[in-house]
A = this chain, B = another copy of it.
Amino acid sequence: MKEIYAEVLTIGDELLYGQILDTNTKWVSQELDDIGIKVRRKISIGDKKQEILEALDECLKRSDIVLITGGLGPTKDDITKKTLAEYFDMELALDPSALEDVEDIFKRFGKALTEINRQQAFLPEGCKKIKNERGTAPGMWFEQGRKVVVSMPGVPFEMEAMMAKTILPKLKKHYTLPVIVHKVIKTIGIGESWLAEEISSWEDALPDHLGLAYLPGKGQVRLRLTGVGESREEVETEMDQQINEVLPKIKSYVYGFGDIQIEDAVGELLKSQSLTISTAESCTGGFLAHRLTSVPGSSEYYLGSVVSYHNDIKKETLGVEEKTLEAYGAVSEETASEMAVGIRKKFKTDIGISTTGIAGPDGGTEEKPVGTVWLAISFGKNVFTRKIQLPGTRILNIEYTAIHALNFLRQTLEKP
């Protein structure tokens, strides 16, 4: 079976100036990969006609499909549509169905149609309009022999709906696609090199049609096994066998598979043990609660949080003793413990977890530098505590603390 290759082309000066983060290419690549289309290259260029024409030409020489995002806005700096019309030698003409779509959108928002939005209904004659259900710029589908070029708006929310509803199904019809299977093992609490050492003999023995990659992230490493074949079932069975072989070597670091997040894993543990939890946060300032409540259905086990930024709140709402704060300070094992015990009691949950630390950039001392954090978990008759020392900036320290806290919870809940 012939492999089908795609390239993702994102257009916008703002990408080259580094003024926005491109999340579209990741999302598009993942969706293509899922249906067996290989992404060969991702390219970002500016809103310049010559650059667009050249890049498009290159992409079409190398690959079967080019998916373009960006440059379709109603404002003057957006030139993708005109340039595509020129590339394919088509005239722009009013598309009545596109005009209807734009009018519908304006009706839905209860606003009057502006002239520049009306111009969005002009499309290159000969392309197929792709309906934009979430915005005013329609997408466009061009064919050149068997090759396909699709142009989509750059707003992720609009582009994603268009891909999911129209473009992916059309691509699946247009091409005969192979089977690519990825399986991801999610580990936490071990670095990439150490993980590689633990599993090196297994990795060396992997057959050629199975590939392994290490994907390090914040406090975590994802192990991705990729298999290619003709039958999904055969590839999956072989991969599952390999995974069963490697798991015992790294068991204590593995919290799940695929897209699962550490907060999902913790949520599953809480649900399966019918436990409820509450949080008392100082340095994480609500971010730990946010991670826990980002899970759909988390209200089943998550009851609430007190963010006690000010010491008075630690005392009055969480019941931390004045003398504890005086003797040990807010960032201490003792304060963390009293916070965890206090929130558990106040919110009547089975578990209370707390964070207290110095997120930075200010507030560090020689004894307790920026990045010093104490965690505590009150559970059963015990209070478990853990000290961590983080090296990052304020935002990173907040994020890492939440990840450490979630992993600490996982380990506590997994104890036999």
Chain A residues near B (Cβ < 8 Å): 13-23, 25-33, 38-46, 51, 55, 73-77, 111, 114, 116-117, 134, 136, 155, 157, 182, 184, 192-194, 196-197, 203, 211-217, 222, 224, 226, 279, 281, 284-290, 292-294, 296-299, 302-310, 312-313, 317, 346-348, 360-362, 391-392, 394-396, 398
Cβ 8 A contact of A362, one of B17, B43, B197, B297: B297
Shortest A399–chain B CB gap in Å is 10
Dominant SS at the A interface? mixed
**Alpha-carbon separation in the docked complex, A27 to B157 (Å):** 23
Instruction: Give A297 to B360 CA distance when docked, in angstroms.
Output: 9
Q: From residue A210, how far is it (CB to closest CB) to chain B in Å?
A: 12
Complex contact A313–B307 (CB within 8 A): no
Q: A290-B290, A290-B398, A303-B310 are in contact. List 16 more A-B contacts (CB 8 A).
A: A13-B213, A13-B226, A15-B29, A16-B38, A16-B39, A18-B26, A18-B39, A19-B30, A19-B215, A21-B23, A74-B196, A289-B289, A289-B307, A296-B394, A304-B310, A305-B305
Q: Are A222 and B346 in contact (CB under 8 A)?
A: no
Task: Specify which chain B residues have a CB less than 8 angstroms from the CB of A347 in the assembled complex.
Answer: 310, 313, 317
3 closest A-B pairs by CB: A286-B289, A285-B293, A18-B30
Task: Give the CA-CA distance A76 to B211 in the complex, in Å.
Answer: 10
A18 touches B22 (CB 8 A): no
